[in-house]
Amino acid sequence: MFRKILIANRGEIACRVIKTCRRLGIETVAVYSEADQGAPHTKLADQAIAIGPSESKESYLSVARIIAAAKESGAEAVHPGYGFLSENAEFAAALAKAGIIFIGPPPAAVAAMGDKIESKKIAREAGVNVIPGFLGIIDGPDAAAKVAAEIGYPVMLKATAGGGGKGMRMARNAAELREGYASAGNEAQASFGDSRMFVEKFIVKPRHIEIQILGDQHGNIVYLGERECSIQRRHQKVIEEAPSAFIDAETRKAMGEQAVRLARRVGYFSAGTVEFVVGEKRDFYFLEMNTRLQVEHPVTELVTGIDLVEQMIRVAAKEKLPFSQSDIKLDGWALEGRLYAEDPMRGFLPSIGRLSRFRLPAEGRHVRVDTGVVEGSEISRFYDPMIAKLCAWGENRPSAIHHMQDALDRTDIAGIAHNATFLAAVFKHPRFADGALTTSFLAEEFPDGFHGAPLAPEERRALLAAAVFAHLKSLRRDVTVGRQAGSAWPFGKEWVVGDAGEEIAAEVIEEPADGLLAIRLGGEAVTVESTWHPGERLFHGSVGEQEIAALIARNDAAWRLTARGAEREVTVRLPRAAELARLMPEKKAPDLSRFLLCPMPGLVVSIAVKAGDLVKAGQPLAVVEAMKMENVLRAERDGEVGEIRVKPGDTLAVDQVILEFA
């Protein structure tokens, strides 16, 4: 077994690998860029080495600097994590030349599967189902349009070296194809240094389901079941689960055997994933093979009990797998939600800044947390926006969903925008509960973006009752000093609860005491029990028979409560105060329609117009890059371009003016 391993990565996956190494008694070496100086993974490791500037290409993507760090530290092996150099065959070969073990598959297998076109050809030769398309490099948008016309729209444009949703665009017509070709190519060039593209048929109502495989250097290969990864946004996975509610035992076996067949064809060992697109009749087609550990590997670990990182290390050390295919059993159900630094209320635009608060639920039998940040960490524009992975396990799918919803309700993040409420909305969605998933789920169920989840009547009642409890508990604390025991409750029993423009009468049945409140809310008797105290951010307790966990904070005259994917501003006022509040004028928001504002911190890639141009609604105006993704900013209405205030290469802040309309 290795004595020391270098992790050629950052963030949560670096911390994840270090934890397994610690359990195995292996020393670890972290590497870090200027942006990551002092990051958690550098403190968790036994040793940390600086490898260059913040830009990935000058640090985490630098083969020479990673190898130099490995040599300096005396590491015998390198674990690449995922992303960066994890699927770079030249990196694996360079490590071998330097006498350092690559904890992953052989370079030849990485090279064979790393090219999406060649991998499909190999898959076809190995007897694996392959999706219809053109298995060749597309030479420009004209050639792409010709191929698309032959195989029929819709089509999927993909960068041959792409991954993680980058360098991919779906096109429903020739106009979308030409625009997508340029944008996807630029994205792929920036992320992978390779802008080559290919085109394939887009399967209608597709599911994205992948098979986890594991092989050793002695010819043993097994598959560890499937993961459902259909909940995606812009081809980036958001939610994953294992197993899939759609796949039956027969299909699982067929997909698993094809995955193993492909792995044997390329002499594969270590952990790997074979991805399939699955149609509504359980027909499945090979998409690609990821020759690395996947972001969503925890759900497989939770249902199999197998530590994939440990097995990767043992395989690299030439040990045999300690189990065979017949030993693999799936126990229960696991879900993963990716917590991203993005703003769902503003079109999921990236968010950067300092984590002024970062509290995730405690880990245990039903909850697992993988993260690489802590309270006070800086989320920069240089890297992927994922800040944590929240996983839940249950005896069955409904149980896993319940534990995930509870975990999300206990997630408290401040300082940046994040998607915890959006994840909660998806997990409580009736269609998700039914398992009726496709890769179009988010586009179909949230066509106008995310504006908060609807609350069931019992959920709304619980939040309103919690607000009354918090309000009266705060008042009770304020009047306790100097108050004689047994004296009357000084505020009266009648209250008015305001929520979303509606007012509901509340009456105190019994004077609020520690941990207990009996009220009549909208004419219905309700008992609230909680140990919550003023100043605490998490309200946990029960309303009648219903358990409740919600984030709660005072916001001027209201209480802001967040739970089950919804955020509500609730006022609790005395009748006279409520009467006066109705007379207050509403403050109107300023008219900013004359400006194109930068919706997130980022780098200006290009400006598509010039002063004096007449533009139509929907026309591209500018492209801004943030967190390795290009974002096309379009005109919201017809108009004439006035002054342009920025230029390509400028770094912009949120709401900075890009241009003004005449």
What amino acid positions are annotated as catalytic residues? 288
Q: Are 299 and 391 in contact (CB under 8 A)?
A: yes
CA–CA dist 116, 137 (Å, integer): 10
Which one, of 339, 321, 306, lies nearest residue 418 by Cα? 339
- 281 CB neighbour count, 10 Å cutoff: 6
Backbone angles phi, psi at 529, to 5 degrees: -125, 130
Q: Are 519 and 508 in contact (CB under 8 A)?
A: yes
CA–CA dist 66, 84 (Å, integer): 11
What SS3 state is found at 194?
coil
- CA-based angle 225:229:233, to the nearest 5? 170
What SS3 state is found at 64?
helix
CA–CA dist 501, 364 (Å, integer): 40
Which one, of 496, 513, 621, lies nearest residue 570 by Cα? 496
Give the CA distances from residue 587 to residues 569, 584, 590, in Å, rounded to whole numbers and listed in that order: 16, 9, 9
Q: How many CA atoms lie within 13 A of 350 on its CB side?
A: 24
CA–CA dist 114, 537 (Å, integer): 46
Which one, of 11, 25, 26, lies nearest residue 78 by Cα? 26
Query: Would you report the helix, strand and coil content of the chain in percent, each value rounded to 5?
Result: 30, 35, 35
Give 640's strand partners.
614
Backbone angles phi, psi at 180, to 5 degrees: -65, -35
